[in-house]
């Protein structure tokens, strides 16, 4: 039952960007799955293996990462409840990256076969999946740009703006008040910083009166200034569809 909630969230995420009819919605909601639970800090998908299922986050927080020989890692995507971590593994089952649980997490494992069948049967679903992949890529591109050209403080500000909106969208808080269940070391892995410098960047934002934190609870005190510092424009999250397309004719 709370498992159905996860599929509903996934469907809701798809419907943000794509329109699906009754049949297609039902098809999504009746996807088969198995449930897996993971405590925090577990790499539940190892880098460099072939998978035959995709992971839908039902609860908690997951991160896709790339790891280097020296053990350092970079998190290249954050996945909130309702996000399919590796929809991209459906067309390309060999994944070079791993997925870790950032907090305690419940995940639905959905067989690739079922997702493939749906997208062959329903072109609109194929488009919806493709769109979802594009949206992930758009976030990735934004992160890359920030990583390459902005300071630590600016990147952190940008990430907080993004997470606020995504949390709100997922029904897990508001864009100005949410709980982010990660350690500072994990956030540093997202932003390409050391834990020490992330900590100092957080302090800077607090000192400027832009945010307030209480444990892992974040409150954004000055949205305007934070977005300004980050040059944040939610456009890239692709939240208002693009669906002129998927129907025949």
Partner DNA sequence: CGCCTTCTTGAGGGTTCTCAAAGTGGGTGG
Partner DNA sequence: CCACCCACTTTGAGAACCCTCAAGAAGGCG
Which residues form the interface with a copy of itself (CB under 8 A)? 17, 48, 64, 66, 68-69, 72-74, 76-77, 88, 90-94, 96-97, 112, 116, 119-120, 123, 126-127, 129-131, 133-138, 140-145, 147-150, 191-192, 231, 233, 235-236, 238, 242, 244-246, 248
| Minimum CB distance to DNA, residue 203 (Å) | 5
The entry of a copy of itself, DNA, none near residue 76 (CB within 5 to 8 angstroms by kind) is a copy of itself
Exposed e or buried b for every residue in 109-121, given b needs 16+ CB within 10 A? Answer: bbbbebbeebbee
Laid out side by side, the sheet with 62-67 consists of 42-45, 98-101, 62-67, 73-79
Nearer to DNA, 215 or 249 (CB): 215
Cα torsion 165, 167, 172, 176 to 10°: value is -50
The entry of a copy of itself, DNA, none near residue 127 (CB within 5 to 8 angstroms by kind) is a copy of itself
Q: How far apart are CA 114 and CA 101, in angstroms?
A: 24
| Minimum CB distance to DNA, residue 199 (Å) | 4
Q: How far apart are CA 40 and CA 31, in angstroms?
A: 26
The entry of a copy of itself, DNA, none near residue 185 (CB within 5 to 8 angstroms by kind) is DNA
Cβ count near 187 (within 10 Å) = 23
Pairing of strands 42-45, 211-214: unpaired
Nearer to a copy of itself, 37 or 142 (CB): 142
The entry of a copy of itself, DNA, none near residue 39 (CB within 5 to 8 angstroms by kind) is none
Residues of this chain that interact with DNA (CB under 7 A) are 40-41, 151-153, 183-185, 192-197, 199-203, 215-216
| Minimum CB distance to DNA, residue 197 (Å) | 3
The entry of DNA, a copy of itself, none near residue 138 (CB within 5 to 8 angstroms by kind) is a copy of itself
Nearer to a copy of itself, 91 or 171 (CB): 91
218 in Cβ contact with 179 (< 8 Å): yes
Q: How far apart are CA 167 and CA 179, in angstroms?
A: 9
Q: How far apart are CA 157 and CA 148, in angstroms?
A: 15
| Minimum CB distance to DNA, residue 5 (Å) | 24
């Amino acid at each position: 039952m709370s498992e159905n909630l996860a599929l509903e969230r996934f469907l809701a995420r798809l419907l943000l960007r794509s329109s699906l009819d009754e049949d297609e919605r039902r098809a999504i909601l009746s996807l088969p799955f198995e449930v897996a639970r993971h405590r925090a800090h577990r790499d539940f998908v190892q880098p460099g293996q072939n998978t035959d299922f995709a992971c839908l986050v039902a609860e908690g927080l997951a991160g896709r990462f790339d790891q280097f020989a020296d053990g350092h890692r970079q998190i290249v995507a954050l996945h909130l409840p309702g996000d399919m971590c590796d929809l991209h593994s459906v067309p390309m089952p060999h994944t070079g990256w791993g997925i870790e649980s950032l907090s305690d997490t419940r995940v639905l494992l959905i067989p690739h076969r079922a997702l493939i069948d749906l997208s062959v049967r329903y072109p609109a679903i194929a488009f919806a999946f493709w769109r979802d992949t594009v949206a992930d890529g758009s976030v990735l591109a934004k992160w890359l740009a920030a990583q390459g050209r902005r300071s630590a403080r600016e990147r952190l500000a940008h990430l907080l703006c993004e997470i606020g909106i995504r949390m709100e969208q997922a029904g897990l808080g508001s864009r100005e008040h949410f709980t982010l269940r990660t350690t500072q070391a994990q956030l540093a892995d997202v932003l390409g910083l050391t834990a020490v410098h992330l900590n100092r960047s957080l302090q800077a934002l607090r000192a400027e009166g832009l945010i307030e934190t209480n444990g892992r609870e974040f409150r954004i005190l000055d949205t305007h200034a934070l977005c300004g510092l980050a040059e944040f424009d939610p456009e890239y999250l692709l939240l208002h569809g693009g669906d002129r397309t998927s129907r025949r004719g």
